[in-house]
């Protein structure tokens, strides 16, 4: 009798283990969400992810199963992103990962999600969809890595055109010395010079050492002396606000522009007024679906979503469709997503149409230019 009981218990444990590997049949479906969840550039991602999951669950879940998030806070640090990726991939219940936000963290995590560390990390490769990593290098990160935002090859030409539409021909560029900043700097320079402009200075900075307000004064003073009539910043909002304040203090009166990493400058007070930011989503986007999302988000969180939040929200609903169509198997999900727009229906989200090319890059995603007015980032007209 004891032997029969032990055999029965073993069979139960084995069945439970197999169910976990498949994502289960009646248990919750688990999606990983990875990014700088407690930092300013990850806040909207976290809130929008929770909002999407709550909406889906209130509506009955996915084929009757509830959706659950496995959070992974990478703190915008590449080393921590590796730890998060290993944990999420190694969890057999996780069917896909939304993340990461920063280009540097997405690039560090991608080899793990793609199964390149198969000897040291348990579990099959797992689908990774970044809502906001724009580095061109992510294009070749692997067959399991996708993104729903445009690349710097699309953002920067829009910035270059904006500067020229403002009558500017001599730009100074300051960029964070990481994958994102370098991508913005190089693609802006190429687009601006092709159109007849001149980049009078092109200087990197390190966020970790950029503390004193005067740290970058020599670079700004040199740019002004060389006749810079526009300033382009390739970096995140925290350092960006310090650069903007320093430029204005030194007497620079021309337009200041930045790619989507600069979105948070809108919260920086009067110094940020009039700054231009390119983005794949602005809260005043003219579509009924976008405005309904923004209204619900505002009502719940008392603030506007940024592009990271809007595209995280879209990725979770895209995964909902993929799971309903293909199931929860990691390979099946990856293969379904790879065919979105190429055999499978395009996804119409709050941030626009999502479809992928063979490299996992989003195709034809619009890039808007916003300007800070009264503390809000609104479409520049």
Q: For residue 208, what pLDDT is reported?
A: 61
Average pLDDT over residues 194-212: 83
Q: Using the 8-state DSSP alphabet, how is residue 150 labeled?
A: -
Residue corresponding to tokens 């809260």 = 283
3-state helix/strand/coil string of 40-67? HHHHHHHHHHHHHHHHHHHCCCECCECE
Average pLDDT over residues 350-377: 96
Q: For residue 4, what pLDDT is reported?
A: 40
pLDDT confidence tier of residue 120, bands split at 50, 70 and 90 = confident
Q: For residue 21, what pLDDT is reported?
A: 41
Closest among 92, 91, 96 to 34, alpha carbons compared: 96
d(CA 140, CA 123): 22
pLDDT confidence tier of residue 10, bands split at 50, 70 and 90 = very low
Q: Using the 8-state DSSP alphabet, how is residue 74 labeled?
A: -
Contacts of 29 (CB under 8 A, 6+ apart): 23, 61, 62, 65, 66, 67, 68, 95, 323, 328
Residue corresponding to tokens 């006749």 = 227
Residue corresponding to tokens 């209130």 = 58
Give the number of other Cβ atoms within 10 Å of residue 345's Cβ. Answer: 11
% of the chain with per-residue pLDDT over 90? 86
Q: For residue 207, what pLDDT is reported?
A: 72
CB 35 within 8 A of CB 100: yes
Sign of the alpha-carbon torsion through 199, 205, 207, 209: negative
Quick: pLDDT tens for 311-347. 999 999 999 999 999 999 999 999 999 999 999 999 9
Residue 11 predicted with pLDDT over 80: no
pLDDT confidence tier of residue 117, bands split at 50, 70 and 90 = confident
Q: For residue 80, what pLDDT is reported?
A: 98
What pairs with residue 177 in β-bridges? none
Which range is least confidently modeled, 12-21, 27-36, 305-314? Answer: 12-21
pLDDT confidence tier of residue 15, bands split at 50, 70 and 90 = very low
Q: For residue 214, what pLDDT is reported?
A: 82
| Residue 161 CB-density burial (10 A; 0-12 exposed, 13-18 middle, 19+ buried) | middle
Domains and CATH numbers, the chain: 6-150+288-366 (3.40.50.2300), 152-279 (3.40.50.2300)
Q: For residue 170, what pLDDT is reported?
A: 98
> Which pTM was predicted?
0.88
Please, what is the average pLDDT of the chain?
91
pLDDT confidence tier of residue 121, bands split at 50, 70 and 90 = confident
Quick: pLDDT tens for 59-109. 999 999 999 999 999 999 999 999 999 999 999 999 999 999 999 999 999
Q: For residue 2, what pLDDT is reported?
A: 38
Q: For residue 137, what pLDDT is reported?
A: 94
């Amino acid at each position: 009798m004891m032997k029969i009981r032990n055999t029965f218990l073993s069979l139960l444990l084995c069945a439970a283990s197999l169910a976990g590997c498949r994502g289960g049949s009646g248990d919750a479906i688990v999606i990983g969400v990875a990014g700088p969840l407690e930092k300013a550039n990850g806040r909207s991602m976290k809130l929008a992810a929770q909002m999407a999951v709550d909406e889906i669950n209130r509506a009955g879940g996915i084929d009757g199963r509830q959706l659950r998030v496995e959070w992974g806070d990478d703190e915008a640090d590449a080393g921590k992103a590796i730890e998060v990726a290993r944990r999420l991939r190694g969890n057999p219940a996780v069917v896909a990962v939304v993340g990461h936000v920063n280009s540097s963290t997405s690039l560090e995590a991608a080899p793990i999600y793609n199964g390149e560390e198969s000897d040291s990390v348990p579990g099959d490769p797992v689908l990774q969809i970044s809502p906001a990593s724009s580095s061109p290098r992510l294009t070749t990160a692997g067959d399991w890595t996708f993104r729903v935002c445009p690349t710097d090859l699309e953002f920067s030409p829009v910035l270059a055109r904006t500067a020229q539409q403002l009558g500017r021909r001599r730009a100074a560029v300051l960029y964070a010395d990481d994958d994102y900043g370098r991508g913005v700097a190089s693609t802006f320079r190429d687009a601006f010079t092709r159109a007849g402009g001149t980049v009078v200075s092109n200087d990197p900075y390190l966020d970790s050492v950029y503390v004193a307000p005067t740290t970058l004064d020599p670079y700004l003073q040199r740019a002004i002396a060389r006749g810079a009539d526009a300033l382009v910043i390739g970096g995140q909002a925290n350092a960006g606000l310090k650069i903007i304040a320093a430029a204005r203090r030194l007497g620079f009166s021309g337009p200041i522009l930045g790619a989507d990493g600069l979105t948070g400058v809108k919260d920086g007070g009067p110094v940020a007024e009039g700054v231009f930011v390119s983005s794949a989503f602005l809260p005043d986007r003219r579509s009924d679906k976008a405005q309904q999302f923004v209204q619900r988000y505002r009502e719940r969180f008392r603030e506007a979503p940024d592009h990271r939040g809007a595209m995280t929200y879209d990725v979770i609903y895209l995964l909902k469709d993929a799971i309903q169509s293909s199931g929860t198997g990691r390979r099946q999900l990856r293969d379904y997503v790879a065919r979105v727009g190429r055999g499978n229906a395009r996804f119409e989200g709050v941030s626009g149409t999502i479809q992928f090319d063979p490299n996992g890059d989003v195709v034809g995603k619009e890039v808007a230019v916003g300007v800070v007015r009264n503390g809000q980032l609104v479409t520049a007209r």
